């Protein structure tokens, strides 16, 4: 081969490489453009990669404020009809933005109060299915009155069960929340206690239909078999996906007859989901753990996972109600907030209208938890800084946020559910 033809060959190879590179880049940009055009990703994320860090808790391309949805279908999901799924379609029939599996919707239930002019009841409900283009699903458990107490049963859940019918309209805020499944293909352990199964259903439905054989373990704790939700669905998924392992824990002693191999796909255990069970069943792998359930479950499992050596960044949890889970690292994080201004003096929180005050210390949780521990009645919805129900005026002092609120509180106010005091603070409440 002559020197000239060698030179030509090298030039052709370089040109080919440039062509391939430009084509790939063009294809990538075209995909992004198409996604933006279809509204399936936020332009803020694409145009400003830094922004993606800030907006990961928001559903991509979500709407602002309330949107009207119509109930398309209602379906009971358990033997005793205590859990009902609501399939919701937008009244405007426009495509729905996707959400991150594990996120929730916020409902503003107007017209459910017998008292005219009373404030609407605001409640959050986790999305219980994988994202769909034209409908969302939530699954709501009736909240009965606590045993032995002369109080009314849960307002919103019973209203949804008894009054809201197919064709009813509901005011709904966009999907939000910090608790959602990561998009990697890494192995995960999902732990749901009682109605805490709902975000897990969304996560596993999405992962099993969209990801490539990701290893998923589901530990589902209930008191007895009658409380199991969507058992048939779980069995169908476990049958179809060898990478999906289902373990059901029944804590009532009289469930004993149920223990044992009921099907080859689901294994049943007597007792609660506890660290002993996880340690005995899980192979040694770097799992991410997602836990949602009643307060005692979170308060025992989260520290137990930490003690087992699971990294803080691999433990994700959500509570549907007041729950203070003391985390080693969380305590250290909130410590920083108080220490900025008060290295030696105590941080005093005063609730002006209630006439109550208390010292706050790092590790004690949010201002909402502090108020509740003092018996101050506060309306709250999401407990994650997204619904705005607990917004309160700050009369003096300053607060910090251990978790950044998803909505901006009005100037001079704070969201108690995610706020901790930065200095001694006086709140309007
Ligand atoms: C992020 C998030 C996601 C959620 N996802 C789901 C979900 O997927 N499914 C679901 O079912 N729930 C979910 N919840 C819980 C839901 O938001 C409601 O808290 C739940 O439905 C109860 O609301 P309620 O209005 O029916 O009960 P409430 O009216 O809030 O009452 C709660 C309980 O307190 C009792 N009570 C009332 N008055 C008193 C009193 N004076 N003293 C003592 N007790 C009293 C009631 O009888 C009832 O048992 C979620 C919550 C959050 C924060």
Indicate the pLDDT class of residue 256, thresholds 50, 70 and 90: low
Query: What pLDDT does residue 118 have?
Result: 65
The tens digit of pLDDT for each residue in 117-170 reads: 567 788 899 999 999 999 999 999 999 998 888 899 999 999 999 999 999 999
Contact 386, 106 (CB under 8 A): yes
Residue 5 clears pLDDT 50, i.e. is over it: yes
The angle formed by the CA atoms of residues 273, 275 and 279, to the nearest 5 degrees, is 115
Residue 15 maps to a domain? no
Query: What pLDDT does residue 340 have?
Result: 47
Structure tokens at 347: 């941080």
Residue 5 maps to a domain? no
The tens digit of pLDDT for each residue in 21-39 reads: 667 655 554 544 444 333 3
Prediction pTM value: 0.77
Query: What pLDDT does residue 291 have?
Result: 97
Residue 73 maps to a domain? yes
Q: Which among 87, 106, 125, 199 is the best mutation to test ligand 1's pocket, defined by most ligand atoms within 8 Å of the CB?
A: 125
Residue 6 maps to a domain? no
CA 43 to chain centre: 24
Name the residue range of residue 25's domain.
20-55
Indicate the pLDDT class of residue 343, thresholds 50, 70 and 90: low
Three-class DSSP category at 37: helix
- Please indicate, yes or no, whether residues 237 and 320 belong to a single structural domain of this protein: yes
Enumerate the β-bridge partners of residue 330: none
* Number of domain units in the chain: 4
Among 137-141, 203-207, 329-333, the minimum mean pLDDT is found in 329-333
Query: What pLDDT does residue 6 have?
Result: 81
- Please indicate, yes or no, whether residues 261 and 230 belong to a single structural domain of this protein: yes
Please tell me if the CB atom of residue 82 comes closer than 6 angstroms to any atom of ligand 1: no
Contact 380, 390 (CB under 8 A): yes
Please tell me if the CB atom of residue 125 comes closer than 6 angstroms to any atom of ligand 1: yes
Residue 3 maps to a domain? no
Mean pLDDT of the 8-29 span: 73
- Please indicate, yes or no, whether residues 210 and 296 belong to a single structural domain of this protein: yes
Please tell me if the CB atom of residue 382 comes closer than 6 angstroms to any atom of ligand 1: yes
Residue 137 maps to a domain? yes
Instruction: Using the atom order of ligand 1, give the atom closest to the CA of residue 198.
Output: 8
Q: Which helix (H) or strand (E) holds 138?
A: strand 136-141
C-alpha atoms less than 13 angstroms from C-alpha of 204 in its C-beta half-sphere: 30
CATH classification of the domain holding 91:
2.40.30.10
- Please indicate, yes or no, whether residues 27 and 84 belong to a single structural domain of this protein: no
Residue 309 clears pLDDT 90, i.e. is over it: yes
Residue 151 maps to a domain? yes
Please tell me if the CB atom of residue 124 comes closer than 6 angstroms to any atom of ligand 1: yes
Query: What pLDDT does residue 324 have?
Result: 56
């Amino acid at each position: 081969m002559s020197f000239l033809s060698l030179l030509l060959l090298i030039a052709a190879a370089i040109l080919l490489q440039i062509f391939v590179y430009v084509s790939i880049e063009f294809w990538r940009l075209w995909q992004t453009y198409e996604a933006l055009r279809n509204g399936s990703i936020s332009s803020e994320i694409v145009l400003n990669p830094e922004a993606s860090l800030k907006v990961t808790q928001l559903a991509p391309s979500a709407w602002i404020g309330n949107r009207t949805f119509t109930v398309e279908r209602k379906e009971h999901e358990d033997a005793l009809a205590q859990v009902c799924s609501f399939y919701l379609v937008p009244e405007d029939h426009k495509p729905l933005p996707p959400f991150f599996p594990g996120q929730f919707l916020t409902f503003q239930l107007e017209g459910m109060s017998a008292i005219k002019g009373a404030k609407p009841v605001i409640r959050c409900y986790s999305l219980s299915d994988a994202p769909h283009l034209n409908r969302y699903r939530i699954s709501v458990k009736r909240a009965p009155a606590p045993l032995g107490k002369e109080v009314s049963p849960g307002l919103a859940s019973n209203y949804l069960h008894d009054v809201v019918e197919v064709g009813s309209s509901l005011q709904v805020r966009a999907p939000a929340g910090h608790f959602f499944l990561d998009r990697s293909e890494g192995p995960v352990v999902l732990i749901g206690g009682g109605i805490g199964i709902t975000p897990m259903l969304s996560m596993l439905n999405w992962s099993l239909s969209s990801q490539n054989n990701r290893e998923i373990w589901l530990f589902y704790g209930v008191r007895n078999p009658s409380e199991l939700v969507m058992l048939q669905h779980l069995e169908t998924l476990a049958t179809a996906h060898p990478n999906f392992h289902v373990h059901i824990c029944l804590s009532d002693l009289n469930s004993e007859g149920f223990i044992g191999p009921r099907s080859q796909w689901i294994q049943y255990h007597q007792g609660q989901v506890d660290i002993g069970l996880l340690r005995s069943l899980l192979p040694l792998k770097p799992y991410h753990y997602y836990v949602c359930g009643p307060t005692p479950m979170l308060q025992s499992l989260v520290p137990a996972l930490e003690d087992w050596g699971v990294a803080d960044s691999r433990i994700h949890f959500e509570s549907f109600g007041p729950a203070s889970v003391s985390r080693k690292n969380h305590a250290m994080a909130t410590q920083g907030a108080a220490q900025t201004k008060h290295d030696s003096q105590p941080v005093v929180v005063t609730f002006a209208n209630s006439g109550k005050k208390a010292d706050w210390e790092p590790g004690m949780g949010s201002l909402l938890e502090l108020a509740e521990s003092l018996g101050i009645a506060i309306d709250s919805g999401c407990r994650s800084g997204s619904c705005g129900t607990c917004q309160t005026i700050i009369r003096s002092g300053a607060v910090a946020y251990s978790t950044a609120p998803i909505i901006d509180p009005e100037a001079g106010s704070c969201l108690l559910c995610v706020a901790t005091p930065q200095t001694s603070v006086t709140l309007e409440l």
